[in-house]
Structure formats: structure tokens, C-alpha cells
Homo-oligomer: A and B are copies of this chain.
């Protein structure tokens, strides 16, 4: 079975629809998805950005929010802008990384729903705890693992790996040969590539 890495950032708007639809699109093509949360901060810092490019460049921000409205509407997903934008995603990424397999995917979807579907604050432990509970994970035990030094170091290593892979943003799909596809709108192309379909 073909496999693909799904690199996502909880502060990233387009990662929200991508996270909500990738399981279905991958199942249609029989591709196994590995969910890999990471932090864009170090990558953006190298570009000279200390904020979301959607804030630094308001033209791009205006386009993105209208585009998100259309995309979410077409997918039947609610959309609320969290305040502030972008959200601090450190705790969210650490928590997702402290889970494995389907629990990580389900927690991630629940937390994206809270953030962009309900406009809630994902740096709030209570919000993260609710998403954990609704995904069937133990909130207290998972948060303890999330904040262990080992897990913090693992997130740093994952984010460094993302940078070394040349990811220009989030979400990205990376095939086993290292082909990078950037954006919610490239999920189908990336999954087709993973199965050997190149046209």
C-alpha cells in the first residue's frame, strides 16, 4: 500500500480543510496517510517573517479568507476566524505528536474544528483537553506526555526535518521519494503521484 506524509500546522488556515478531507481522498486511492504535525515558525523566520504572511501581506490575507469561505462552504465545514490569528500552535502540535495513528488524526480534526469551525483558542489547555476527550484520548495523561522533554525535543526534530525537506508552507504532502506538494488544492495530485499516477 502506498504511503504519504501529511505535514500540517495547527496555525495554518488551509491545513484545516486539508485535515478534514484527506482521509476520504486517501481512502479512495488506497493510500496510507501518516499525520505529521510541525511548526512553520522556524521556516518563516528564515524568510524574515515573524507573523503569518497573511498578516504581513494584507492583499494575500484578504484573498485567503475569501478563498477559505468558498472552500469550507463547498465542503460543508463551518468557518470562524480565531482571535488572534494566527493562533499559538505550540501546545496543539506537541499534543498531536504525543498521540499515535488514528488517535492523532482524530484529535487533530477535533482541534481544527474548535479553532477554525468555532473560532476557539487552541493554546488554551481546556480547549485541547476537550478535543482529546472527544477523540477518545485521556486528556491528563496525554498532556503530560505532550509536555515531556522527550516529546518537546521530538517536535523540534520534526520541525527541523520539515525545513530540511524544503516545505514552503502548510499543508504539504511528501511522497516516499521526497516529492513535495504544497496546499490543500494539491491533495489529489499528491495522492495520485504516490500511487504512481503522474498525469
**B-chain residues with CB within 8 Å of residue A57 when the two chains form the complex:** 47, 168
| Min C-beta distance of A43 to chain B, whole Å | 7
Assess the B166–A63 pair: CB atoms within 8 A: yes
Query: How many residues of chain A have a CB within 8 Å of chain B?
Result: 26
**B-chain residues with CB within 8 Å of residue A43 when the two chains form the complex:** 59
Assess the A185–B183 pair: CB atoms within 8 A: yes
| Min C-beta distance of A48 to chain B, whole Å | 9
**B-chain residues with CB within 8 Å of residue A141 when the two chains form the complex:** none
Assess the A199–B74 pair: CB atoms within 8 A: yes
Binary flags per residue of A161-199, CB closer than 8 Å to B gives 1, else 0? 000001010000000000111110110010001000011
A62 to B166, CA, bound (A): 8
Assess the A73–B198 pair: CB atoms within 8 A: yes
Q: Which of the residues B59, B62, B67, B198 comes within 8 Å of A74, measured between beta carbons?
A: B198
Assess the A182–B63 pair: CB atoms within 8 A: yes
Does any Cβ of B come within 8 Å of A100's Cβ? no
Q: Which of the residues B47, B60, B189, B198 comes within 8 Å of A59, measured between beta carbons?
A: B47
**B-chain residues with CB within 8 Å of residue A198 when the two chains form the complex:** 70, 73-74
> Given A60-B168, A168-B60, A186-B185: A179 and B46 within 8 A (CB)?
no
Assess the B166–A59 pair: CB atoms within 8 A: yes
A57 to B43, CA, bound (A): 11
Which single residue of chain B is at the shortest CB-CB distance from A61?
B168
A47 to B43, CA, bound (A): 20
Assess the B63–A180 pair: CB atoms within 8 A: yes
Query: Could you pull out 8 A-B pairs where Cβ atoms are within 8 angstroms?
Result: A43-B59, A59-B166, A59-B168, A67-B181, A67-B182, A70-B179, A183-B185, A185-B185
Residues of A with Cβ closer than 8 Å to B?
A: 43, 46-47, 57, 59-60, 62-63, 66-67, 70, 73-74, 166, 168, 179-183, 185-186, 189, 193, 198-199
